[in-house]
Amino acid sequence: MTETNNIAILETTLRALAESKKYVTLRDILTTIHAADIAAIFERLQEEDLPLLFRLLPKELAAETFVEMQQDTQEALIRTFSDRELKQIVGELYVDDAVDIIEEMPANVVRRILEMADPEMRRSINELLRFPEDSAGSIMTTEYVALRPSVTVQQAIGYIRKVGPDKETINSCYVLSPDRKLIGVVSIRRLLLSDDEATIEQIMDENINSVSTLTDQEEVALQFSRYNYTALPVVDQEHRMVGIVTFDDAMDVMEEEATEDMQIMAAMTPTDKTYLHSDVLHLFLQRVPWLLILMVSATFTGMIITGFESALAAQAALVAFIPMLMGTGGNSASQSSVTVIRGLSLGELDFRDVGAILWKEIRISLLCGLALGVVGFVKILLVDKLLLGNSDITIGVTLTVSITLLLTVVAAKIIGGILPLAAKKVGLDPAVMASPFITTIVDALSLLVYFGVATCVLRL
Amino acid sequence: MTETNNIAILETTLRALAESKKYVTLRDILTTIHAADIAAIFERLQEEDLPLLFRLLPKELAAETFVEMQQDTQEALIRTFSDRELKQIVGELYVDDAVDIIEEMPANVVRRILEMADPEMRRSINELLRFPEDSAGSIMTTEYVALRPSVTVQQAIGYIRKVGPDKETINSCYVLSPDRKLIGVVSIRRLLLSDDEATIEQIMDENINSVSTLTDQEEVALQFSRYNYTALPVVDQEHRMVGIVTFDDAMDVMEEEATEDMQIMAAMTPTDKTYLHSDVLHLFLQRVPWLLILMVSATFTGMIITGFESALAAQAALVAFIPMLMGTGGNSASQSSVTVIRGLSLGELDFRDVGAILWKEIRISLLCGLALGVVGFVKILLVDKLLLGNSDITIGVTLTVSITLLLTVVAAKIIGGILPLAAKKVGLDPAVMASPFITTIVDALSLLVYFGVATCVLRL
């Protein structure tokens, strides 16, 4: 059911069934579809058809589908729910999902949801809501399996069979001391493969990684992909266990963080709303500030060109190469910066690699610069001068452009490689150093180099 | 142990212990560290120290660490292994990890590894090696738990306890018909929470997603993040089960694909080698072709400028705004294209959204274009003309630049939003349509618009 065209076919079928009011068939089909797909289909329905179709879903599937929906659809649905319906949905939610939903809702909806939650869930939700956004505490769930070190494997399995239904996962069970400190972990696999009479203490893995409630979610996701965990325990300042983050949340974070990096690299304020669910004003506000900033900061390049106006008038051919030089500089810089930014995001690089990066970028940039300079020299003479017959182009101009290519590429790659590290060092997001920002610096620099070289070579 | 500075501290400690030959202490410390961290530390050691330290690791940890290492380090290590050592490591590997390693090795090393594998493993490896790179078949493992529909929960649990140690995961068990067709799935959780006497057939989930051996790994990863699976079954053309892909492989793929998209967006040939492990020549070859292509394609912008040389000579102030206009066009386009490319990668958008995207981009681009046009108009008159005293700037020039800003932003955003969809439609990677490629088109376009508007407004 994943392929989007399969979903499109399903959507057409469901729409037809809904129109001909064949609700029983509709319900039967819906129960065979994964909640994520139902949500995707429902998102595309008219808002007025949604409550009716949603009510066809069995309780558990309804809750799963609800979790997968976009925030504005969730909000619209809640407004159509009776108290009883809302209570049912909330009762089926895992605490971390409930918190995700609540975090995005307006206050009056939040109040209604909390009223409909049972007291224990309300307490857990309120607890989780206190953690800062994007922290491990805010994405964790409190529904995990805790074991005492002294019980036997058989007792533990019996206990898990009893409490399992309410836990988000039973794949990892956490061993806590009497004062709730985390002292080990046992996987369900280890439990099943161990002797019935062994104690948890004997089989648990004491060598356990945990994160603090305040750890940034990006760091949490990094641990998942580094260590291949299905769940990661979250502890408070006193190393008391308070919850777990599961791999599915970590996957969402990984996707979110990669999206965020790409948005920042493309000069946008990051947003976690999907494109189709963002209104035009939201997208406009996400994009226009950076366009304005970059437009205004291009004042420098304008000033540089104006300063060399008389030189450009004397050698009109120089103007035609400005876009190419600036483009090459920008591309060279973003190649290096994106490489380093991604390495930092994945934890493969850090500040102590600054020397290695610098040395590598110097050598790569010299090779690239030489290649571009030589190819540029030949291409300008053969294509621009001979083939296109631009008689303004002299050997001097060609040489000026080639030397500028070499110098610009070297400077661009070094700046592109080092600035993200510097940003990280002073606590900024390295991604802000990517394409547009670095490009603005490199643009100005390449013009300065160009006119500098022109002044020397052409004696302007 | 995740924070990179913790690893740095550990590295210093281990290095000191190695130098003072305190191997017992060293071994004790190593056994408390996660394989991924040991690999990270070992990668930074001198190549000659590596075999000695590696031999200190207990068998299982040694295999886990080996899997986490970079390909060139693995190769160097294998060359120092005796046959017995290699056999031990290979014996501890999961089939999918063995295949990952083998895929990157030169033929003579591959032959040695296969010789050291037991016959069953050799058969599995050879089978998996036949699948195309980046397909589900190439990343799956054949070590999964298969159950018959007629057995009871109790029998199934007994069976799992017996075969579990050799399986990559027991969290999901797959129910196969006598001819090995996949008919259902049972989670270990469901098993444990069910009645002992129930049959697998009664409790299994028949509503199961699977992928084919030839499904692209990007699609596989998308299914994981969409459906929150811990494992996904892989079937052949006759729907016979052949293996599973586990979530950790899917996470690796997600990271790889995001990295690949970013590399392509930044005009680089994608590579899965990490930066520090790539030699200069490799990185040079990854970067230089695109720089050359983009440099040569900038011939068009040069030609356009040359074509308007006399107009530019008459209105010298126009030249100074070229970089700003091209930059704004490029930034506007990459904002839209990156948004759409990411939406496509995450499965949130597809070709049938073309109308919605077009309509949204038109409205956003009009808003952005108007904002930039107005701010640009005021800024040029106040800053460039009055403050910086550039007397060449007339109302006509200002108007020309402002109108160009509006038109360029609109055109750039529409092109940026639509081209990735078109690429996807014809089977190209949408990411190739991102920044540098679109920028080249938009660069040429914005110059044409600029000179077109200038001709009208300034009657050149």
Contact residues, chain A, for B261 at CB < 8 Å:
262
Tell me, letter by letter, the H, E, C secondary structure of B75-119.
Answer: HHHHHHCCHHHHHHHHHHCCHHHHHHHHHCCCHHHHHHHHHHCCH
- Parallel/antiparallel/unpaired status of strands A172-176 and A145-147: parallel
Residue contact B287–A219, C-beta within 8 A: no
- Best mutation target among B322, B409, B433, B442 (most A Cβ atoms within 10 Å) is B322
Give the pLDDT band of residue A435 (cuts 50, 70, 90). low
- Looking at residue A2, its pLDDT comes to 43
Q: Find tokens 């800003």 and name the residue.
A: B405
Q: What is the pLDDT of residues A22-53, one digit of tens each?
A: 888 888 888 888 888 888 888 877 777 888 88
Contact residues, chain A, for B205 at CB < 8 Å:
none
Q: What is the nearest CA distance from B411 to chain A, expressed in angstroms?
A: 15
- Parallel/antiparallel/unpaired status of strands B231-235 and B211-212: parallel
ipTM of predicted complex? 0.80
- Nearest to A409, CA basis, from A357, A331, A345, A340: A331
Task: Measure the CA–CA gap between A77 and A79, rounded to whole angstroms.
Answer: 5
Letter string b/e over residues A403-419, b meaning 16 or more CB atoms within 10 A of that residue's CB: bbbbbbbbbbbbbbbbb
Cβ contacts from A onto B, under 8 A:
379
Task: Measure the CA–CA gap between B175 and B183, rounded to whole angstroms.
Answer: 6
- Looking at residue B257, its pLDDT comes to 87
Residue contact A312–B319, C-beta within 8 A: yes
Strand B231-235: give its sheet, edge to edge. B211-212, B231-235, B241-246
Q: Which of A3, A247, A276 sits opposite B353 (nearest CB)?
A: A276
- Nearest to B320, CA basis, from A300, A440, A455, A441: A300
Q: Which of B255, B292, B371 sits opposite A375 (nearest CB)?
A: B292
Task: Measure the CA–CA gap between B409 and B369, rounded to whole angstroms.
Answer: 5
Residues of chain A with pLDDT > 90: what percent? 34
Residue contact B305–A323, C-beta within 8 A: yes
Contact residues, chain A, for B290 at CB < 8 Å:
331, 335
Residue contact A292–B321, C-beta within 8 A: no
Q: Could you say which residues from 375 to 404 on chain A have a Cβ atom under 8 Å away from some Cβ of chain B?
A: 375-376, 379, 383-384, 388, 390, 392
- Looking at residue B1, its pLDDT comes to 37
Residue contact A372–B295, C-beta within 8 A: yes
Q: Does B372 touch chain A (CB under 8 A)?
A: yes
Q: What is the nearest CA distance from B453 to chain A, expressed in angstroms?
A: 19
- Looking at residue A172, its pLDDT comes to 92
Q: Find tokens 């850090």 and name the residue.
A: A350
Q: Which of A32, A254, A379 sits opposite B254 (nearest CB)?
A: A254
Residue contact B320–A306, C-beta within 8 A: yes
Contact residues, chain A, for B301 at CB < 8 Å:
320, 323-324, 327
Q: Which of A31, A305, A316 sits opposite B320 (nearest CB)?
A: A305
A185 pLDDT more than 90: yes
Task: Measure the CA–CA gap between A203 and A201, rounded to whole angstroms.
Answer: 6
Q: Read off the tokens for B47.
A: 């190549």
- Best mutation target among A94, A222, A305, A353 (most B Cβ atoms within 10 Å) is A305
Q: Does A61 touch chain B (CB under 8 A)?
A: no
Residue contact A275–B312, C-beta within 8 A: no
Residue contact B327–A447, C-beta within 8 A: no
Beta bridge partners of B172: B187
Residue B198, Cα to own-chain centre: how many angstroms? 43
Q: Say if residue A75 is exposed, middle or buried (CB neighbours under 10 Å; 0-12, 13-18, 19+).
A: middle
Average pLDDT over residues A6-10: 74
Task: State the pTM of this model.
Answer: 0.81
DSSP one-letter string for A389-421 = --TT--HHHHHHHHHHHHHHHHHHHHHHHHHHH
Q: Does B232 touch chain A (CB under 8 A)?
A: no
Q: Does B259 touch chain A (CB under 8 A)?
A: yes
Q: Does B157 touch chain A (CB under 8 A)?
A: yes
The secondary element (H helix, E strand) that includes residue B448 is helix B435-457
pLDDT-wise least confident of A8-22, A79-93, B322-336: A8-22
Q: What is the pLDDT of residues A246-275, one digit of tens each?
A: 988 888 888 888 888 888 888 888 887 888
Q: How far apart are the first and last CA of chain B?
A: 68
Most confident of A55-64, A67-76, A145-154, A347-356: A145-154
- Looking at residue B238, its pLDDT comes to 87
3-class SS shares of chain B: helix, strand, coil, % to 5: 70, 10, 25
Task: Tell me how crowded residue A20 is: count the other CB atoms within 10 A of its CB.
Answer: 10
Q: Could you say which residues from 425 to 444 on chain A have a Cβ atom under 8 Å away from some Cβ of chain B?
A: 435-436, 439-440, 443
Q: What is the pLDDT of residues A297-311, one digit of tens each?
A: 888 888 898 888 888
Q: What is the nearest CA distance from B107 to chain A, expressed in angstroms?
A: 29
A294 pLDDT more than 90: no
CB B232 within 8 A of CB B210: yes
Q: Does B43 touch chain A (CB under 8 A)?
A: no
Residue A401, Cα to own-chain centre: how many angstroms? 40
> Rounded to whole angstroms, what are the CA distances from B281 to A341, A368, B288, B445?
21, 10, 10, 35
pLDDT by residue, tens only, chain B of 460 residues? 344 556 777 788 888 888 888 888 888 888 888 888 888 888 877 777 888 888 889 888 998 899 888 888 888 888 888 888 888 888 888 888 888 888 888 888 888 888 888 888 888 888 888 888 889 988 888 889 999 999 999 999 999 988 888 888 888 999 999 999 999 999 998 998 899 999 999 999 988 889 999 999 988 988 888 888 889 999 998 899 999 999 888 888 888 888 888 888 888 888 878 888 888 999 999 999 988 988 888 888 888 988 888 888 888 889 889 999 998 998 899 899 989 988 888 888 888 889 999 999 999 999 999 999 999 999 999 988 888 888 888 999 999 999 999 999 999 999 999 999 988 888 888 887 666 678 888 999 999 999 999 999 988 7
Beta bridge partners of A199: A152
Task: Measure the CA–CA gap between B113 and B87, rounded to whole angstroms.
Answer: 8
- Best mutation target among A161, A168, A226 (most B Cβ atoms within 10 Å) is A226
Q: Find tokens 């274009």 and name the residue.
A: B369
Please give the mean pLDDT across all residues of chain A: 88
Residue contact B207–A258, C-beta within 8 A: no
Contact residues, chain A, for B7 at CB < 8 Å:
none
Residue contact A254–B259, C-beta within 8 A: no
Q: What is the nearest CA distance from B362 to chain A, expressed in angstroms?
A: 10
Q: What is the nearest CA distance from A124 to chain B, expressed in angstroms?
A: 23
Q: Read off the tokens for B10.
A: 């550990």
E strand residue ranges, A296-357 = none
